[in-house]
Amino acid sequence: MTSSQGKSIHLTLYVAGEEPNSHMALQNLNEICSGEIKELCIIEVVDVYQDFRRALQERIVVTPTLIVETAESPARSVFYGNLHDKDMVLEYLNAGIRKHG
Amino acid sequence: MDEQKPTYEELQQQLAEANSLVEALRNHEIDAIVGEKSVAVVRLREVEEQLDDARRIAEERARELEAFSYSVSHDLRAPLHVISTLSSSLRKHSRQLDNTANEMLQRIEAGAKKMNHLINDILRLSKISRHRIIIEEIDLSSMAKTFFTELQQQNQGRHVEVRVGDDLMTQGDAQLLTIALKNLFRNAWKYTSKEAKAYIEVGSCEQFGKHTFFIRDNGVGFSMEQADRLFQPFQRLHSDSEFPGTGIGLAIVQRVINRHGGKIWAESEVGKGATFYFTLG
């Protein structure tokens, strides 16, 4: 992974306060980013109750929504739900690092 | 025409995104919807869990009640057997008894007989709920014709005009539907017994947009005000001396229809016959 040093993955998680799925999504996201890719992850949490305008601007329709962006790629990926399938998200992030790293 | 076509990769990404949303919705992982003016909280899972709990409790209660009535009926059989045996032993000594004692003995015997019928009916009713349903193609027309032939043979003195529609086909459990239809036919047969020109018809029609079967008779009928008691076990709308019975027949029929996911209801007017309608799922 040394080749990917200096690159970053921007993860924006849109949640609805402490609603159960939102809470679980944040917990899962923290776990996903706790391993080897920890250094690369920049996590931002947006509570749609607090920052409604931002959610509208980003066209967020439901929560929890996770938006993954990398500096290298213009495309962004979107995951919905409480991220219970951590392996799937992690695999996606790793694939992104390999590709652009 | 400068709008760019999405690349294969972009399409793949959009598809993955859509799948993710569908999955999240299906698994109840969404907890809020962001509208143009506010955020609406979604608690589908909680509502569904509450419903599941309520359903589970109701089913448990029904099972308990079923088990209770089953065991009570079984337990009642032993003492009833004692009463029947002793009263028939006593009957052998009837010469030594005076008239009043003999009359009492007769009433004990009749009571025991009635109780035996009731116990058998309760057991029959609980059997319907325990029965494992096997769905197959059922020909209600030929079933009806067979029942009426049987009834006619058993009651040769009676003349009843019977009309059975052709090709009354349905899907259902043969054993349960036989029990239900027999009960409906026996009812029609019984409640037309005082008519000079008895008439019974079996057919099908469309009711509330659903394929519905019916059995119509021109018997004594009943008042629609009493219709809600009709399908309750041991409820009778006629006196035992007028039309004998334990009041379990229609309760059994309703249970059979319910187990098929169908509905049963009746229309009647006193003295003008009755029509029983039922759907099967």
Q: What is the SS3 assignment for B158? A: coil
Please name the member of A16, A20, A80 whose beta carbon is closest to the beta carbon of B21.
A80
Which residue is closest to B17 within chain A, CA to CA?
A78
Average pLDDT over residues B74-103: 90
Q: Which two tokens stand for residue B54?
A: 């309520």
**A–B interface: beta-carbon pairs under 8 A:** 70
Interface test with A, best of B11, B19, B34 (most A CBs within 10 A): B34
Q: Which two tokens stand for residue B264?
A: 């049963």
CA distance A26 to chain B (A): 13
Q: Do A48 and B34 touch (CB under 8 A)?
A: yes
- CB-CB contact of B32 with B39 (8 Å): yes
pLDDT, one tens digit per residue, over B106-121 is: 999 999 998 898 888 8
Q: Do B32 and A80 touch (CB under 8 A)?
A: no
Exposure of B152 by Cβ count < 10 A (0-12 exposed, 13-18 middle, 19+ buried)? Answer: middle
In the DSSP assignment, the letter for residue B131 is P
pLDDT of residue A51: 92
Please name the member of B20, B28, B39 whose beta carbon is closest to the beta carbon of A48.
B39
pTM of the full structure: 0.56
How far is the C-alpha of B184 from the C-alpha of B140, rounded, in Å?
A: 13
pLDDT of residue B60: 84
- Is the torsion defined by CA of A47, A48, A53, A54 positive or negative? positive
Counting residues of chain B whose pLDDT is more than 90, the rounded percentage is 47
Mean pLDDT, chain B, rounded, equals 88
Q: Is A83 left (phi over 0), alpha (psi -120 to 50) or beta?
A: left
pLDDT of residue B48: 79
CA distance A94 to chain B (A): 16
Residue B2 has pLDDT above 60, yes or no: no
* Spatial strand order in the sheet of B39-41: A62-63, B32-34, B39-41
Average pLDDT over residues B238-262: 86
Residue B182 has pLDDT above 80, yes or no: yes
CB neighbourhood size of A46 (10 A)? 19
Average pLDDT over residues B258-272: 92
pLDDT of residue A4: 45
pLDDT, one tens digit per residue, over B140-181 is: 999 999 998 998 888 888 889 999 999 899 999 999 999 999
Alpha helices in chain B (DSSP H): 8-26, 44-92, 99-130, 140-154, 174-191, 249-259
Q: Which two tokens stand for residue A91?
A: 């695999």
Q: Which two tokens stand for residue B279?
A: 């759907």
Q: Which two tokens stand for residue A90?
A: 């992690």
Q: Tell me which amino acid residue B14 is.
A: Q
pLDDT of residue B3: 63
Q: Which two tokens stand for residue B2?
A: 């400068």
Please name the member of B13, B34, B41 whose beta carbon is closest to the beta carbon of A61.
B34
Q: If you search the block for the tokens 């306060």, which residue do you land on?
A: A17
Q: Specify the DSSP element, H or E, that contains B231.
A: none
- CB-CB contact of B182 with B248 (8 Å): no
The interaxial angle of helices B140-154 and B174-191, nearest 10 deg, is 50
pLDDT of residue A1: 42
Q: Which of A82-86, B125-129, B211-215 has the lowest mean pLDDT?
A: B125-129
Q: Which residues does B189 contact at the CB level (< 8 Å), separation at least 6?
A: B151, B155, B160, B200
pLDDT of residue A6: 56
Q: Do B32 and A16 touch (CB under 8 A)?
A: yes
How far is the C-alpha of A59 from the C-alpha of B95, rounded, in Å?
A: 99
- Which stretches of chain A drop beneath a pLDDT of 70? 1-6, 100-101
pLDDT of residue A100: 61
